[in-house]
Chains A and B, each alone.
Chain A
Amino acid sequence: MNELAITVIGRDRPGIVADVAEVLARLGANLTDSTMTRLRGHFAMTLICTGPAAAEVEAALASLAAEGQLVATVRAVTPDGEVPPVGEPYVMAVHGSDRMGIVAAMTRVLVDAGGNVTDLSTRLTGALYVVLAEVELPAGVAATLIDRLHQTAAELGVEVTLRPADPDLL
Chain B
Amino acid sequence: MRVVAAMSGGVDSAVAAALAVEAGHDVTGVHLALSPDRQQLRSGSRGCCSVEDSHDARRVADELGIPFYVWDLADRFREDVVEDFVAEYAAGRTPNPCLRCNEKIKFSAVLDRARALGFDAVVTGHHARLVDGELRRSVDAAKDQSYVLGVLTPQQLAHAVFPLGEMTKDRVRELAAERGYAVATKPDSHDICFIPDGDTRGFLTRRLGEQPGPVVDAATGATVGTHAGVHGFTVGQRRGLGVTAGDQRPRFVLGIEPVSRTVTIGTAEQAEVSEVVTAAPTWTGPVPELPFRGQVQVRAHGAAVPCEVTPADGGGLRITLGERQRGVAPGQSAVLYAPDALRGDRVLGQAAVSATA
Partners in one complex: no
Which residues of A pack against B, CB within 8 Å? none
